[in-house]
Structure 1
Amino acid sequence: MLWLMVTGLAGWVSLRLCGWEPKFFWSQLVSFTPYAAALSLVPLAFAVVLRAGPLLVAALVVTGAFAVTVLPRVVPESNPRAGGPVLRVMAVNLLHSSVLPPVLVDAVERDRPDVLHLLEFTNLMRERVDGLGLGRLLPYKIVLPGTNSEGAAIYSRYPLRPADTPIQAPAFKDSPRHLPAVVTLPGGQEVELVAVHACAPSEGWRTACWAPSIRALPPAGGRLRVLAGDFNSTLDHVVLRDLIATGYRDAADVTGKGLSMTWPYYEQPRLFPKVAIDHVLADRRIAIRSFQTLRLPRTDHRATLTELVLP
């Protein structure tokens, strides 16, 4: 039984390290790599107790491979020199706008983001939060109208304008969409923002939509850019790692909070395993001062709040 566990886990970590993502359910399964890493300690412990030499060697190799993959996420990284404006970015998936509008407005008033990305944002939610004074706290906005999962919005303390180039993501009926914009900070510095909502790698058209919707996101370079929202991908998905490799850094990973799980929470058993699919990717020239996840009732995602310092 222990050899079967080691063999299965060896196959898991080998697929993860080589980046090949076969078409069975690997795109969902690979999200749980941190749990597989923890499980790899079980045969290792039994091998030590049983003094089973060959099994111990094999288990050590597998656990070591998982450690190389997972442990860097809990080790904080250094930041580039940055002495420019501070930008606080909050991103929330509202679960078809199920979050109560007063709760959302109270969270903005309490946590004081400069920019707010709202996903699964309906026109009804727009009317309600504006009526409760969200526009007073964050007076500038760009809204991508929609119902259920495809709507999005960016609210800002500072002037906003549409991005120069729209994001050409795959278009399917009721599919989520990315919303790009440019914010102008005091002093005139501009930063491109993208409220990210990728397709989920679940079933049917969503599987065909998932990876292309992430590849459609703009690579780093040129104007400073921050991508924040629901990527429906973890750091164990090669498509997200490829995007980061263009010149971004993941805020949770940089601050040593890469194992902060963000989904699913609403109406799920307490012990149901969670995964980290909500991210903030900042251009590598930007310093990441802090990252945290926030609980908002009636959504299955944790909100993210990130404090950035621009060069």
Structure 2
Amino acid sequence: MDRVLAAVPAPEPAPEPGAVRPHGPLTSTPPASGPPPLRPRHRFAAWAAGLLLAGPAVVAGSRLLDTDATTPVTQFLSLLPWLAVPAGLGLVLAAAARRRALSLAAVVVLGAVAWSSLPSTPRAVVPHGPPLARVRVIASNVEFGQGTEALAGLVRRERPQLVFVSECDRACQNTLTTAFADELPHYAAVEADGSVGSVVLSSFPLRDWREIPATMGMPGATADIAGVPVDLQLAHPMPPIPGQVPLWKRELGRVADVAARRTGPALVAGDFNASQDHAAFREVLTAGHLSDAARSTGASRTPTWPAEGPLPPFVQIDHVLVSDDFGVRDVRFLDVAGSDHRAVLADLDLRGER
């Protein structure tokens, strides 16, 4: 009996009033500092937010750094304003996940997308000098000649003085030059089949025909408008599809080189296969001291492609660029049946020296 009692530890004495019992090794520790563990639905929301924000962050960053980068960033730059949708949804999911750092990152990404889309606002250009001539210009890609008849109808109705036509094959050129032999008797062309053929039709006399070396035809000439020599250049570089981004940059670079060598008024128009969010396109503007006629009227986000198919047009890649010798009165966008591009119509005033 004495042995059994000896094996039982004696009870601890009761603590005195006000005394604090020391914690033993089995006492639980206070919870660690930091964010609480994510619940499954919060974890899913956080992952989804991160995925939605990744693309807009890279694309907006490329725009702000003034680079087109490479595939797939180059292609997604065409969607830059629309990337506010996934960025906004990412912000909502980040807030639902209750993660402050992720929510702050989402706010930054959404702000970057909005900030990088600001060039859609009109550029303030004050035309100088007295008006010498009013010039109406149409730039249209007729998609392998399929939109030729529709374009001819637009020309009859709108009566432009200059028409820049991309993807105008031999049959297209024959149709247009024959139908408008009286109204637009002068032209500069690259005669070829398929997408290579292109033509510039003019009611003004043309001289100094030239062509930018490229995969698809890019003819140019000098027009005599109200006694003023005006450089005309059709632009149609290869599209920046995967595997052709370097070629697209080179051909747009050649357009920029031609624009930089101008010595007087200039018009550069056509299917640039580039939006205002592409650095290669902005280099054309900078090199030639040109402005986008659509941007001058606040319409630089009006989409022109793709004009046929299951998706509505979502990007403007067809442009009329002008030197500061021109005042822009109006810009409209016209459907061309048979083509996947909308045409751009610009009403301009050529102005003389002050």
Alignment TM-score, normalising by the size of structure 1: 0.87
Cα distance in structure 2, aligned partners of 1:269 and 1:197: 25
- Which 10-residue stretch deviates more, 280-289 or 84-93? 280-289
Deviations 1:66-110 (A, max 9, x none): 12211331x333332333222211011111111142x32221121
The answer (yes or no) to whether the contact 2:71–2:242 under 8 Å persists in 1 is: no
Describe the SS at the equivalent of 1:274.
Answer: coil
Tell me what 1:33 maps to.
Answer: 80
User: Aligned ranges for residues 1-311 of structure 1 at < 5 Å?
Assistant: 1-45=48-92, 53-73=100-120, 75-82=121-128, 83-84=130-131, 85-101=133-149, 103-131=150-178, 133-163=179-209, 166-170=210-214, 175-186=215-226, 188-204=227-243, 206-217=244-255, 218-220=258-260, 221-246=262-287, 247-266=289-308, 268-271=309-312, 274-311=314-351
- Unmatched 5+ stretches in structure 1: none
Closer/same/farther in 2, CA of residues 25 and 45 from structure 1, 3 Å limit: closer
Amino acid paired to 1:146:
A
The answer (yes or no) to whether the contact 1:248–1:283 under 8 Å persists in 2 is: yes
- Unmatched 5+ stretches in structure 2: 1-47
The answer (yes or no) to whether the contact 2:290–2:322 under 8 Å persists in 1 is: yes
Closer/same/farther in 2, CA of residues 36 and 292 from structure 1, 3 Å limit: same
Closer/same/farther in 2, CA of residues 309 and 44 from structure 1, 3 Å limit: farther
Structure 1 position 5, deviation (Å): 2.2
Cα distance in structure 2, aligned partners of 1:284 and 1:64: 32
Structure 1 position 203, deviation (Å): 4.7
Deviations 1:199-223 (A, max 9, x none): 112255x444211111111134521
Count the aligned residue pairs: 298
Cα distance in structure 2, aligned partners of 1:56 and 1:203: 33
**Greater Rg over alpha carbons, structure:** 2
Deviations 1:9-62 (A, max 9, x none): 222211221133343322222211121133322233456678764444322222
Cα distance in structure 2, aligned partners of 1:26 and 1:53: 28
Closer/same/farther in 2, CA of residues 7 and 196 from structure 1, 3 Å limit: closer
Closer/same/farther in 2, CA of residues 207 and 10 from structure 1, 3 Å limit: closer
RCO higher in structure (CA 8 A, sep ≥6) = 1
Amino acid paired to 2:254:
A
Cα distance in structure 1, aligned partners of 2:51 and 2:177: 57
Amino acid paired to 1:93:
N
Describe the SS at the equivalent of 1:72.
Answer: helix
Describe the SS at the equivalent of 2:111.
Answer: helix
Cα distance in structure 2, aligned partners of 1:20 and 1:140: 39
Cα distance in structure 2, aligned partners of 1:57 and 1:7: 14
Cα distance in structure 1, aligned partners of 2:127 and 2:176: 37
Identical amino acids, percent of aligned pairs: 28
Cα distance in structure 2, aligned partners of 1:289 and 1:45: 42
The answer (yes or no) to whether the contact 1:86–1:307 under 8 Å persists in 2 is: yes
Describe the SS at the equivalent of 1:310.
Answer: strand
Describe the SS at the equivalent of 1:149.
Answer: helix
The answer (yes or no) to whether the contact 1:16–1:236 under 8 Å persists in 2 is: yes
Amino acid paired to 1:88:
R
- Which 10-residue stretch deviates more, 154-163 or 142-151? 154-163
Cα distance in structure 2, aligned partners of 1:53 and 1:26: 28
Alignment TM-score, normalising by the size of structure 2: 0.77
The answer (yes or no) to whether the contact 1:80–1:286 under 8 Å persists in 2 is: no
